[in-house]
Structure 1
Amino acid sequence: MQGNAPTPDGQVSDAVSGNWVDRYAPVSARPYLRLSRADRPIGTWLLLLPCWWGLALAMLWDQTPRWEDLWIAIGCAAGAWLMRGAGCTWNDITDRNFDGQVERTRSRPIPSGQVSVKQAIGWMGFQALVAFGILLSFNTAAILMGVISLLPVAVYPFAKRFTWWPQVFLGLAFNWGALLAWVAHTGTLNQPALLLYAAGISWTLFYDTIYAHQDTEDDALIGVKSTARLFGSETPAWLRRFLVATVALMGLAVIAAGLPQASILALVIALMGPWAMGWHMAWQLSRLDIEDNGRLLGLFRSNRDTGLIPLIFFLAALLA
């Protein structure tokens, strides 16, 4: 498909209607905020929630919540917003030639001409630098984990060029916070965090396969790979597998985190988290229509609630 005309006033076509960027942000800042997906907050939630899962389970693991954990939670929130913005900017820089050929992405700031590549690089560097400043307030092990996280972030935009499973690379990047937040609390990397990380990757395969079905026709034309194209009509069967894997792995993470010191009541409450999360994912499957882009986008966005569900139970377990 050809053409790269922006939508009216530079709005991005798949942004949330009436979002704060388009309504309230200074006109000069809007292209940069759109580049960071500030007008589409779901990505920040999907990056942040694994961080909060990891922190909550770490507190369940050693039964020693501290006031500094409040800063870890806040720091993760700010860092998720910044690094999601930096990562999306990097993604748009590397994908600028593809984005202009895809209906859903041609209105993004770079292909629509709102921001130059040079300006985008500067904006990406600024966001990453501020995020690094926040990271320096954590312990040494967490700082190291944060630096290592740059590798999957850097590789992800290129994954769809060489594998049918780019969503795995997205999962590696988007769920790294589960490891980082765990280490920020405990100072070490333990088995429950690794299981939680694996659960998050499976969840990412679930929601991003749904998301990728919006672009299958354009992706086929330009040669971009995805699990959506790979699975095709078999997508519901694959999503059920990812659902089961997510619930099972998160359940194992809860058991591994809770068994050392948590009470039976706390363990039961925490285990209700992945169980309830699985039901929300099953609801998404019941609504799935891979030919309806509006529904696909709505289901993808609903994964904020999917990820909040286990967090609520994890926090409740800490009070048990």
Structure 2
Amino acid sequence: MLFSTNDTGPVADAVKRHWVDTRLPAWLRPYARLARWERPIGWWLLLWPCLWSAALAAIASGAAWPNPWHMFLFFIGAVAMRGAGCTYNDIVDEDIDGQVERTRSRPIPAGQVTRTQAKIFLVLQALTGLVVLLQFNTFSIALGVASLVPVAIYPFMKRITNWPQLFLGFAFSWGALMGWAAVFGSLGWAPIPLYLGGICWTIGYDTIYAHQDKEDDALVGVRSTALLFGERTKLALVLLYLSASLLFALAAMLADAGPLAFMGIAAGVVHLFWQIVKLDIDQPEECLKLFRSNGKFGWIMFIGFVLDALVQGL
């Protein structure tokens, strides 16, 4: 049965005393943990490229603000597809998660849900994402379907390449194309550097995140940019974040953005380099805190773009 579960307690790295564990019915909690509902930073990181792209499209089209209906759809889609992605990742990684201290208490290796139950839950979340996608124009629907390719291959990349974070970037930055396509029904030049910049940003923040697991990853044979960069992580982050910022600026320029958009990008640069200064790759709690701070970076960029659209659209 789908809802017959064995709730043996929260995941080790989950937010403690979260509403998932205090307010949800016991039968629903393992599914919420599969979807990472107690960790909204994941869907924020998936959502931000969508919202940035929608805001740049507003600037380019002369609108005073991004389309509110599109932003609502992107929000629902981000929550659903991030949950589906996490569920799929946990199904694929059951053997690895069971060997890593931080992840062995996740619902599948801990026996809270069966693989069949997880697969059914995956389908339900994916169907929610499909309903959202069907609200857009035909080009956006085709583009959204194409995003399933990087989503499908990402969980396997940690087994065969030192750059799994690159493939995460391919998947998580896809929204940089979607926001623009939803407005124009096609792709222009501006969303391309926005997408590439999002990939660089994703590699950066997920490298920080991966430093939490580097010892266990090395033991079980999982690859990551955290292990690849090692003590050169700060230098790598400088190059990645600088590249991301320059690409974001190029995207804004191609969208005919004004000063406020570039001020937002500049403020974002300050935040990203603050992360690098604060980073201690041997302090897992600090790594997690800095990883989560990328949600604030998303707000900084988005506010700059929205204010620019508002000024230009009035």
**TM class, shorter-chain normalised?**
over 0.9
Match of 1:80 in 2: 78
> 1:176 and 2:174 equivalent?
yes
**Which segments of 5 or more consecutive residues in structure 2 lack a partner in the other structure?**
1-6
> 1:301 and 2:292 equivalent?
yes
- 1:219-258 to structure 2, matched below 5 A, reads 219-258=217-256
Root-mean-square deviation over aligned CA pairs: 1.2
* Large movers: runs of 4+ above 6 Å: none
Shift of 1:66: 8.0
Cα deviation, 1:143-191, whole Å, max 9, x if unaligned, reads 1111001100000000111110000000000010111111011111111
Task: Provide the C-alpha distance between the structure 1 equivalents of 2:269 and 2:197, rounded to a whole number of angstroms.
Answer: 11
Task: Provide the C-alpha distance between the structure 2 equivalents of 1:256 and 1:10, rounded to a whole number of angstroms.
Answer: 50
Match of 2:15 in 1: 16
- 1:285-300 to structure 2, matched below 5 A, reads 285-300=276-291
Shift of 1:65: 5.5
Match of 2:3 in 1: none
The residue identity in structure 1 corresponding to 2:278 is R
Shift of 1:203: 0.5
Contact conserved, 2:65 with 2:309, CA < 8 A, in 1?
no
Match of 1:5 in 2: none
Shift of 1:99: 0.1
Counterpart secondary structure, 1:289: coil
Identity within the alignment, %: 51
Shift of 1:319: 1.3
Equivalent of 1:191 in 184, 189, 192: 189
Match of 2:270 in 1: 279
Contact conserved, 2:55 with 2:306, CA < 8 A, in 1?
yes
Task: Provide the C-alpha distance between the structure 1 equivalents of 2:266 and 2:184, rounded to a whole number of angstroms.
Answer: 26
Task: Provide the C-alpha distance between the structure 2 equivalents of 1:152 and 1:189, rounded to a whole number of angstroms.
Answer: 19
Equivalent of 2:302 in 297, 303, 311: 311
- Select the structure that is richer in helix: 1
Q: TM-score, normalising length from structure 2?
A: 0.95
Shift of 1:18: 2.5
Equivalent of 1:154 in 147, 152, 155: 152
Shift of 1:274: 1.6
Shift of 1:10: 1.6
Counterpart secondary structure, 1:10: coil
Task: Provide the C-alpha distance between the structure 1 equivalents of 2:16 and 2:244, rounded to a whole number of angstroms.
Answer: 31
Equivalent of 1:268 in 253, 259, 264: 259
Task: Provide the C-alpha distance between the structure 1 equivalents of 2:65 and 2:278, rounded to a whole number of angstroms.
Answer: 41
Shift of 1:64: 3.5
Cα deviation, 1:188-215, whole Å, max 9, x if unaligned, reads 1111101100111010011000000011
> 1:25 and 2:24 equivalent?
yes
Equivalent of 1:95 in 78, 93, 96: 93
Cα deviation, 1:3-34, whole Å, max 9, x if unaligned, reads xxxxx952111112222211211111000010
Task: Provide the C-alpha distance between the structure 1 equivalents of 2:64 and 2:29, rounded to a whole number of angstroms.
Answer: 39
The residue identity in structure 2 corresponding to 1:160 is K
Cα deviation, 1:41-90, whole Å, max 9, x if unaligned, reads 110100001100000001111213689x2111000000000000000000
Match of 1:3 in 2: none
Aligned residue-pair number: 305
Task: Provide the C-alpha distance between the structure 2 equivalents of 1:168 and 1:142, rounded to a whole number of angstroms.
Answer: 23
Task: Provide the C-alpha distance between the structure 2 equivalents of 1:23 and 1:142, rounded to a whole number of angstroms.
Answer: 39
The residue identity in structure 1 corresponding to 2:18 is N
Task: Provide the C-alpha distance between the structure 2 equivalents of 1:305 and 1:75, rounded to a whole number of angstroms.
Answer: 21
**Which segments of 5 or more consecutive residues in structure 1 lack a partner in the other structure?**
1-7
Match of 2:119 in 1: 121
